Chains A and B, each alone.
Chain A
């Protein structure tokens, strides 16, 4: 079974600075997908970035990038030039391609961007 662990319940960063959120996972699968989702106070879950395990290159989406370390089963999210609108809960998730493709989530990290 897949498990996802986020060991940082809360983090804080100054506006315009860089912050890294940690995530580790456990799986016996060779093919899987990893995700970071953002959940602002509106409760709407928004996909931030996605990584396919068979791709060695780290995914990047504008100010968001990941450090995917497959051997270490680590999948951290780096947010550069933090903005006030980045304040949210961030969830790391994993999925195994198959019949269901259900997401397995970590417990989340609450990120506060300070002005």
Chain B
């Protein structure tokens, strides 16, 4: 079946602008994660959604970052008033829940803030 998809693949934006990044998880996966991969760094957890439960937002770096998941499927990560330090690859993953199942990753969105 189809894997996790993300759009856009690449995004260049000017400092101060808002951006929206989209993630379509695998059908049937109720758990959805956002991670950030900065140059030379590992992946950093941002936010977690599971079904209708309140999301775990503990990894969001500032209040400029927010995310939502509509209808338990598609998720959008929004970064307001982008800064140059927001430049990174943003990866989305989805999984089944109950155990620590394999997280299936999308190809990521490379965000460049100029």
- Which residues does A use to contact B, with CB under 8 Å? 4, 6, 33, 37, 42-47, 50, 91, 93, 95, 97, 99-108
Chain A residues positioned under 8 Å from B110 (CB to CB): 43
Tell me if B67 is interfacial: C-beta within 8 Å of chain A: no
Chain B residues positioned under 8 Å from A43 (CB to CB): 89, 91, 107-108, 110
Chain B residues positioned under 8 Å from A6 (CB to CB): 42
Tell me if B43 is interfacial: C-beta within 8 Å of chain A: yes
Q: Which of B13-21, B74-82, B97-105 binds A?
A: B97-105
Tell me if B61 is interfacial: C-beta within 8 Å of chain A: no
| Interface residues on chain B, number (Cβ under 8 Å) | 28
A107 B40 Cβ-Cβ under 8 A: yes
Tell me if B87 is interfacial: C-beta within 8 Å of chain A: no
Chain B residues positioned under 8 Å from A95 (CB to CB): 100
Known A-B contacts A50-B102, A105-B43, A107-B42; the reply to A45 vs B91 at CB < 8 A is yes
27 A-B residue pairs with CB within 8 Å: A6-B42, A33-B100, A43-B107, A44-B105, A44-B107, A45-B91, A45-B93, A45-B105, A46-B105, A91-B42, A95-B100, A99-B50, A101-B48, A101-B97, A101-B101, A102-B33, A102-B48, A102-B59, A103-B33, A103-B35, A104-B45, A105-B35, A105-B42, A105-B44, A106-B42, A107-B41, A107-B42
B45 A97 Cβ-Cβ under 8 A: no
* Cα separation A45 to B35 with both chains bound (whole Å): 12
B102 A42 Cβ-Cβ under 8 A: no
Render B51-74 as a binary contact track against A, CB cut-off 8 A, 1 for contact.
000001001000000000000000
B100 A101 Cβ-Cβ under 8 A: yes
Chain A residues positioned under 8 Å from B106 (CB to CB): 44
B19 to chain A, nearest CB (A): 18
A97 B100 Cβ-Cβ under 8 A: yes
B75 to chain A, nearest CB (A): 15
